[in-house]
């Protein structure tokens, strides 16, 4: 479980082995990391359809060896121009399932086009070929897909187009049953033939929008036509000699940087890994970072986010002083979606991509757009209906977003690519992984496989639990409880911890890949 896959030239990691294989195949055919990443992204939309899809969003961190630069792409969508809080009069919050949650334009297809045009060598036809093959010919349905279908069968039954895709013959498909998505295959093929603009301005856009409007949706063809993602300067800080990169808001990426700034004030090398002090310090650093995230994070076009202060070392030192080593702080947060898919690719030229994509909740809104095979995200459900809330619902606005791919640089080159599924858990797992790799010298597979934790409130629960995998010694969790953490010992290897991936480049230039034993992924190097 702790042995990383080592490649001499390239590495692909993703939460599904077929997507990893597709990315590796593109590299073997002469594609670069950006081509392979889009292939992986498209395959995940097919083979992990409960987690991600063409109806969702994505964020990208891209290092170009030719330009020696790190760039980020925001592939998240905005609310429709006609979407207002008045349309939810009488509601305490936006419903997080159903057509009323479909109020943001999906941004992932645009991001594929943007990444390929800026950095790619191959055509959309080349990189989408594996995804089309899996959609038309089928693939063995994963245990994760099956479990989430069982969990959400009532949601999937609500929409006839959704049920037709995910409940064939009105039943839950079995594990390893061939799962075919002919409508999605046709949509992907049309995308190959007509390009990105067909999805946002052409025939495909018309089909999607007309289906959504027939079901009572608020998005219009004008909303789709107006969509455009954006290349943006990544955020950065330093940690133990590394330069750490995250994508900027509306992503929560700055939380991961804030937590590391706080932890830099403690000598983790003198604190045993897996000890009470280790878990307590990480949780407390993250909780303080979450407080500022909850206060400020939204679309920066609508609200000022004081990133210079939040990412300053002096501010981190102040927060570090507030941490009491024997007592948990009293912090309140709200539940956020947890179902996403992170992947990363490094090629032989040194190009590197860390990216993440999502429908927000598993199966998103539970709404499939007619016969397109596209499941629409429910990301818009996270907007607040409180006009005084920083993330309140407004027209043409991007929501607070959990997606946050990460990349660490050393001596100006990518050294660690990492990320995870998990909403609120993303900055938590990222912080655990990076401290394990940098402070404790673990390889990426060991860092991912070691026991994990996730703090926060999940849907339907009233308490701010600290869920800890039961491989952690009881005496440690007892000490965490005594300090005031509400500890819940979960399974030894629990899927609630999400699916993490990481790639590390060592001093010889070899690439070490790790994937999560909690998922269906594979690390493939050559």
Report, as residue numbers or ranges, the catalytic residues.
340
| Burial grade of 291 (CB within 10 A; 0-12, 13-18, 19 or more) | middle
What is the Cβ-side half-sphere exposure of residue 313, based on CA atoms within 13 angstroms? 7
Query: Phi then psi for 347, rounded to 5 degrees?
Result: -110, 180
- Name the pairing type of β-strands 522-525 and 11-14: antiparallel
DSSP type of residue 181: -
| Cα separation values, 244 from 23, 240, 414, Å | 25, 10, 10
Q: How far apart are CA 393 and CA 406, in angstroms?
A: 28
| Helix (H) / strand (E) containing 342 | strand 339-346
Length of the chain: 526
Q: How far apart are CA 184 and CA 398, in angstroms?
A: 26
Q: How far apart are CA 284 and CA 172, in angstroms?
A: 41
Q: How far apart are CA 478 and CA 487, in angstroms?
A: 8
| Burial grade of 345 (CB within 10 A; 0-12, 13-18, 19 or more) | buried
Q: How far apart are CA 285 and CA 318, in angstroms?
A: 11
Q: Where are the beta strands (DSSP E) in 218-262?
A: 230-232, 235-239, 242-246
Place of tokens 């969990």: 151
Q: How far apart are CA 409 and CA 277, in angstroms?
A: 28
| Cα separation values, 58 from 48, 110, 268, 487, Å | 15, 9, 33, 33
Q: How far apart are CA 126 and CA 42, in angstroms?
A: 12
Residues near 92 by Cβ (< 8 Å), separated by ≥ 6?
385
Cross-strand bridge partners of residue 408: 244, 416
| Cα separation values, 361 from 97, 196, 286, 321, 487, Å | 9, 25, 23, 36, 25
| Burial grade of 362 (CB within 10 A; 0-12, 13-18, 19 or more) | buried
């Amino acid at each position: 479980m702790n042995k990383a896959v080592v490649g001499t030239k390239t590495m692909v990691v993703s939460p599904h082995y077929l997507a990893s294989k597709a990315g590796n195949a593109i590299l073997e055919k002469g594609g670069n990391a950006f081509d392979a990443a889009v292939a992986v992204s498209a395959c995940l939309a097919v083979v992990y359809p409960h987690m991600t899809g063409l109806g969702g969003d994505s964020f990208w961190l891209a290092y170009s060896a030719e330009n020696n630069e790190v760039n980020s792409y925001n592939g998240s969508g905005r609310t429709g121009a006609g979407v207002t809080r008045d349309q939810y009069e009488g509601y305490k919050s936006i419903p997080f399932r159903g057509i009323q949650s479909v109020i943001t334009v999906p941004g992932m297809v645009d991001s594929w086009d943007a990444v390929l045009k800026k950095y790619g060598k191959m055509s959309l036809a080349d990189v989408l070929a594996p995804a089309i093959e899996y959609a038309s010919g089928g693939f063995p349905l994963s245990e994760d897909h099956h479990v989430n279908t069982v969990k959400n069968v009532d949601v999937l039954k609500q929409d006839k187009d959704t049920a037709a895709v995910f409940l064939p013959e009105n039943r839950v498909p079995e594990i390893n049953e061939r799962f075919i998505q002919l409508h999605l295959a046709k949509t992907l093929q049309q995308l190959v033939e007509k390009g990105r603009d067909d999805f946002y301005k052409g025939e495909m856009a018309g089909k999607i929008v007309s289906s959504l409007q027939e079901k009572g949706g608020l998005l219009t063809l004008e909303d789709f036509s107006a969509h455009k993602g954006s290349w943006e300067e990544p955020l950065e800080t330093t940690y133990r000699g590394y330069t750490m990169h995250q994508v900027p808001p509306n992503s929560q990426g700055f939380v991961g940087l804030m937590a590391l700034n706080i932890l830099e004030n403690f000598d983790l090398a003198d604190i045993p890994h897996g000890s009470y002090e280790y878990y307590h310090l990480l949780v407390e650093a993250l909780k303080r970072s979450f407080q500022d995230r909850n206060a400020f994070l939204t679309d920066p076009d609508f609200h000022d986010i004081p990133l210079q202060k939040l990412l300053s070392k002096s501010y981190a030192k102040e927060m570090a002083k507030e941490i009491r080593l024997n007592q948990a702080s009293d912090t309140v947060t709200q539940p956020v979606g947890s179902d996403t898919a992170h992947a990363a690719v490094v090629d032989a030229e040194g190009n590197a991509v860390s990216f993440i994509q999502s429908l927000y909740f598993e199966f998103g809104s539970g709404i499939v757009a007619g016969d397109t095979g596209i499941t629409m995200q429910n990301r818009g459900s996270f907007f607040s209906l409180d006009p005084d809330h920083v993330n309140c619902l407004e027209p043409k606005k991007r929501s607070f977003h959990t997606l946050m791919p990460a990349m660490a640089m050393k001596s100006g080159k990518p050294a660690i690519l990492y990320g995870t599924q998990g909403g609120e858990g993303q900055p938590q797992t990222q912080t655990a992984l990076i401290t394990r790799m940098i402070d404790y010298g673990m390889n990426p597979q060991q860092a991912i496989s070691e026991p994990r934790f996730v703090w926060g409130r999940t849907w339907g629960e009233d308490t701010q639990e600290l869920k800890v995998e039961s491989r952690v010694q009881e005496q440690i969790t007892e000490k965490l409880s005594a300090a005031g953490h509400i500890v819940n010992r979960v399974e030894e290897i629990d899927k609630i911890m999400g699916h993490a991936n990481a790639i590390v480049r060592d001093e010889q230039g070899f690439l070490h890949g790790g994937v999560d034993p909690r998922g269906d992924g594979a690390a493939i190097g050559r």
